[in-house]
Each structure stands twice: as structure tokens, then as C-alpha cells.
């Protein structure tokens, strides 16, 4: 499987990182080695002093596809959840300043958390889904899919023009504002509407 990630898909997040809005989605990949095993903690890697959480609405593909039309994009997945794109922000800033790719900061081992999957039919409108992240019991990040710059159907169409979508592939759709640093012994909890889909401790 591959993990397809979208960067800079919420305007306020772009502003908080002092970035610039792009004319097309920012796309990058994480390898399957970036997945955190079920019920395992997140271990802060030794190469970073500034690991940030980024909560994101995610989806899992259930059909093979290439050059998928926006009109048919919703036929290619049947489950959604929340994930955390753990980011070595200090390393990312250094890489970006030198014009280098982000992979070291975004695709390192255990940098992707995937929550429990929920059938899409349980949601009335995928373009209006609330989600939020708690750190140590306090909400630190919240978003709604209506605030995406590029909507789910647009992302699927864009991504599939470059990469063949395979069954089991996962797509992270971008993070809203409110990203922040994690520390040892923090506990992160993700909620899709009011349903908890993950709980993870930082080590």
C-alpha cells in the first residue's frame, strides 16, 4: 500500500506556517514503514527536537483507478477516519529553506497514525464533517471538511492523474490550523464528529 498525503489544504494552516497558497494541491507520499502499528505509542525520533502533530481526515481506497473523474471519485472509497501526520518541523524548515524534498521530515518510520475506519454511509455529507484533536484532554486542533481548499473529489482526481490508485491505499487530505509540538507522556485523541477513532501516547 501507499500513503498519499496532501499539504497546505486549509487556508488558516497555510497562514500559520507563513507559507503561500499554491495553484494546485501539494502532494507527497509516505511509505508503509511510516505506519504506526495498532496499539503502539509514537516514539519521538532522535533527529528532531520539534515533532508536530497534524490531524487529518483520511480515506481508504477500495477500487483500482487511474485518471479518475471528479464526478466518480466518491465511488473509489467506502471508509474514512482520522490520521496524524507527524512532522519533524525543525527538519522540514531546514529542508524547505534549502529547496530540498520533505521526505526526511514527513515520511520517517512511524510518522503516520491511522485511526479506526468508519463506513462513509454513516455520514450525511462528506463535505461537512467535523473533526478534532485532544492533547492531554484539551482540544488543540479542530476542523471541518468544508474548509478544504481542494475537496475530496478534486484531490482524488488530481492524485490519480499521477499515481495509479490501488485497493488499500490511504489518502491524508490535509490539516487545519492549530498544529503544535508533542512531548514525552502526551496523550493524543482523535474524534470524527463525536466518535473517538484513535488514542496514542507519546514516548
What is the number of alpha carbons within 13 Å of residue 74 lying toward its C-beta?
9
> What pLDDT sits at residue 102?
86
Which pLDDT band holds residue 176 (cuts at 50, 70, 90)? very high
pLDDT at 162 over 80: yes
Q: Which residues pair with 35 in a beta bridge?
A: 112
- For 160-182, what is the mean pLDDT? 97
Whole-number CA gyration radius for the chain: 16
Average pLDDT, the chain: 95
Strand pairing class (180-181; 170-172): unpaired
Calculate mean pLDDT across residues 121-137: 96
State residue 96's pLDDT score.
Answer: 86
Q: How far is CA 202 from CA 20, 29, 66, 110, 135, in A?
A: 31, 23, 38, 12, 10
Quote the CA–CA distance of 152 and 145 in Å, as a whole number: 9
In order, the DSSP letters of the chain are --EEEEES-BHHHHHHTT----SS-EEEEE-GGGBPPTTPPBPPPTT-S-EEE-EEEEEEE-S-BSS--GGGGGGGEEEEEEEEE-EEHHHHHHHHHTT--SHHHHSSTT-EEE---EEGGG-S-TTS-EEEEEETTEEEEEEEGGGBSS-HHHHHHHHHTTS-B-TT-EEE----S--EE--TT-EEEEEETTEEEEEEEB-
User: Average pLDDT of 143-161?
Assistant: 97
Is 142:55 a contact under the CB 8 Å cutoff?
no
Instruction: Give the Cα separation of 155 and 49 in Å (integer).
Output: 32
Confidence of residue 11 (pLDDT cuts 50, 70, 90): confident
Q: Which of 19, 12, 55 shows the shortest CA–CA distance to 148?
A: 12
**How much is the pLDDT for 37?**
94
Domains of the chain: 3-201 (3.90.850.10)
Q: What is the mean pLDDT of residues 20-26?
A: 85
The pLDDT tens digits for 42-63 are 999 999 999 999 999 999 999 9
Position 6 pLDDT exceeds 90: yes
The cell numbers describing 54, all together, are 497534524
- Has residue 36 got a pLDDT over 80? yes
Reported confidence tier of residue 14, pLDDT bands at 50, 70, 90: confident
13 has a pLDDT exceeding 90: no
Give residue-wise pLDDT tens across range 86-108. Answer: 999 999 999 988 999 989 999 99
Mean predicted confidence (pLDDT) in 29-52 = 96
pLDDT of residue 94: 93
| Start-to-end C-alpha separation, the chain | 27
Whether 19 has a pLDDT exceeding 80, the answer reads: no
- The pLDDT of 56-85, averaged and rounded, is 98
Amino acid at each position: 500500500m501507499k500513503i498519499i498525503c496532501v499539504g497546505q489544504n486549509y487556508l488558516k494552516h497555510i497562514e500559520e506556517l507563513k507559507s503561500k497558497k499554491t495553484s494546485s494541491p501539494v502532494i507527497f507520499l509516505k511509505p508503509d514503514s511510516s505506519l504506526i502499528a495498532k496499539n503502539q505509542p509514537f516514539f519521538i525520533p532522535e533527529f528532531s527536537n520539534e515533532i508536530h502533530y497534524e490531524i487529518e481526515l483520511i480515506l481508504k481506497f477500495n477500487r483500482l483507478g487511474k485518471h479518475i473523474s471528479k464526478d466518480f471519485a466518491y465511488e473509489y472509497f467506502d471508509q474514512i477516519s482520522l490520521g496524524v501526520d507527524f512532522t519533524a518541523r525543525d527538519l522540514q524548515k531546514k529542508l524547505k529553506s534549502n529547496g530540498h524534498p520533505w521526505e526526511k521530515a514527513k515520511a520517517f518510520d512511524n510518522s503516520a497514525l491511522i485511526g479506526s475506519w468508519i463506513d462513509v454511509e454513516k455520514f450525511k455529507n462528506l463535505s461537512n464533517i467535523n473533526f478534532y484533536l485532544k492533547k492531554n484532554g484539551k482540544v488543540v486542533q479542530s476542523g471541518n471538511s468544508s474548509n478544504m481548499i481542494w475537496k475530496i473529489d478534486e484531490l482524488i482526481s488530481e492524485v490519480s492523474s499521477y499515481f495509479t490508485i490501488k485497493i488499500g491505499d490511504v489518502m491524508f487530505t490535509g490539516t487545519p490550523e492549530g498544529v503544535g509540538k508533542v512531548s514525552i507522556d502526551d496523550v493524543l485523541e482523535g474524534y470524527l464528529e463525536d466518535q473517538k477513532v484513535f488514542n496514542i501516547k507519546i514516548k
